[in-house]
Structure 1
Amino acid sequence: MQLICPHCQTPLEGFGDHAHCITCGKDFFLQARCPDCQQPLQVLKACGAIDYFCQHGHGLISKKRVEFVII
């Protein structure tokens, strides 16, 4: 999923929980959301790995399925 800058409509470069627009120079905070219930996911970090957990009954969510939204 490609994130687009809400100001200039240019694709954003993602860096973990942040994104940056090269064109307009703005930075954005990204929030991981569950693809099933759209609720924020808990980010679990251990030994260099990042996992996502839905606290609303969907359990571990594959990072391929995580939806990131600009907040």
Structure 2
Amino acid sequence: MARPRPSGAVQRCARHPDNVWALHGLVECLRRRGETDQLPEFQARLATALAKTDVPITSSCLCRTSAHSGHDCCH
């Protein structure tokens, strides 16, 4: 059960808006869905985040070992 957030508390997703893992997943999702309007902006943010990493980031989760091909990648 989720704990209620105290009034005025920052949502967890807003604490680290340029999280490399989240940006990688978002860019991958936008690409696979063919949504190109915001893609350049998020690709640039991802490139900036990747430049600060000390390990190669190749997926949206360190434990992810492969990606599904096709349109059902999120299942």
Bin for the TM-score computed over the shorter chain: under 0.3
Question: Which protein has the larger Cα radius of gyration, Structure 1 or Structure 2?
Answer: 2
Query: TM-score normalized by structure 2?
Result: 0.25
More helix by share: 2
Higher normalized contact order (CA 8 Å, seq sep 6+, divided by chain length)? 2
